[in-house]
Amino acid sequence: MKNLFEPSSVMEIKQRIEKLGPNSERQWGVMTPAQMLAHCSAWFEQATGLNNPPRSFVGRIVGKMAKKSVLGDAPIRRNMPTEKSLIMQGDKDLVAEQRRLLDWVDRFAAGGPAGCTTHPHCFFGPMTPDEWAALGYKHLDHHLNQFGV
């Protein structure tokens, strides 16, 4: 499985982020391209421990099973529920958000396993650095596919 500790996967993801434009057509969901970029950057804040939302009640019940499914080979399902702190609203600057996300991808990859939070994921619960790296790739892939890049 691809992950953000693999240089080739990092390069692929960064190239796709750079292809995203203000007119990239959304295939599903409600976010604009710039809001999606901001959402993905906020995810990295969680993965590195800068933002630690509490575990959700539902996550405590089904999170472990859902984690196995999400980290499997199948793509992430469309329109899955999102943690409230990751929902982006209002106008965002696409170029600024693109730069911010590219920086996060680089920082996460360079930080390696030691850069990952030990705080449980708000839905999936405890995660290893390799799980964070795989989920990071799948999350970015999911949203870049959302906009056809």
**pLDDT number for residue 12:** 98
Tokens representing residue 9 in the block: 């996967």
User: Does the pLDDT of residue 113 top 90, yes or no?
Assistant: yes
* 1 lies in some domain: no
* 132 lies in some domain: yes
User: Does the pLDDT of residue 9 top 90, yes or no?
Assistant: yes
Q: pTM of the full predicted structure?
A: 0.95
* 2 lies in some domain: no
Mean pLDDT, rounded, for 29-36 = 96
User: Does the pLDDT of residue 76 top 90, yes or no?
Assistant: yes
Residue 23 sits in which domain range?
Answer: 7-146
Please name the residues in contact with 38: beta carbons below 8 A apart, sequence gap of 6 or more.
88, 92, 97, 100
Tokens representing residue 83 in the block: 């943690």
* 89 lies in some domain: yes
* Domain count for the chain: 1
- Residue 54 · residue 115 · CB < 8 Å: no
Q: What is the b/e burial string over 56-76, where b = at least 16 CB atoms within 10 angstroms of the residue's CB?
A: beebeeebeebbeebbeeeeb
